[in-house]
Structure 1
Amino acid sequence: MKYVGVDYGLARTGLAVSDPEGRLAFPLATLRLQDFLNRKALLAELAARVAHEGAGTVVVGLPVHEDGRESLITRQVRNVTERLKRRVYLPFFFMAETLSSVEALDDLREAGIASKRRRDVIDQQAAVRILASFLALNPDERRRA
């Protein structure tokens, strides 16, 4: 089964997609809020991307503090996910994303990506990290995610 990973942010949303077998995660796109009329239009595009990829499941990164506490952005991610669920009739899972952007930046540096280009792909790489973490779980752990 194919999965789409989402790293939702207030300014940019990174997307990743798995291979058809659901083993590996790859960068897909970065959606910038400034490129859309409003958040509703961004959600419509996000739903269209998920449908276009033929995903069977959506994995959304959930930003939580290291001690598990939730923040304002955590609640915003939950709200956006609920709105997306009304457009995309697939199973959704949350995956804790502590430090995913920091790790994504490290990945890009190690890959030799120029700093100017990193800003364009950091959110995609964070989505890859989130999705890869989910794919690494065994089926029982995935159901609890």
Structure 2
Amino acid sequence: MQGSCLCGAVAYEATPPSSGLQIGLCSCRSCRKAHAAPANAYASVPRKNFRWLRGQDKTSIYESSPGKNRHFCSVCGSQIIAEHPGETNVLLRVALLDDDPGTRPVEHIFLGQRPAWCDWDADGITRYEEWGPEGEPVAKDT
């Protein structure tokens, strides 16, 4: 699997663990703030299976909680990975994968910290497949 940041300055390659890629969602306050989103999609991969393809020198590290480092692209701000130095795994930010990982989330943690306004499955929410160049919704072809 390969992933990259918004501007493309930073890219990585990772091989899922032998047990397969287990995607989770996290709605803790720290993840919500770091991603400016109601949840972060993450997956753990062995550190030995992760390598930078380009741009590691363009990353910045922020210790968001004691012992947890978040690696960001210093150009566009995308969070690339999180890690606890010395642990055997790193946490990929699944939304940065360039292709479909072929699996879906298996857990959602810190639901108690999810914002009250976040209810993707609520009735009455209009859904669109795309957003047009002039700021107009694009209906799904039926």
Q: Does 1 or 2 have the higher relative contact order (CA < 8 Å, sep 6+)?
A: 1
The TM-score with structure 1 as length reference comes to 0.26
Task: Specify the structure having the higher radius of gyration (Cα).
Answer: 2
The TM-score with structure 2 as length reference comes to 0.27
More strand by share: 2
More helix by share: 1
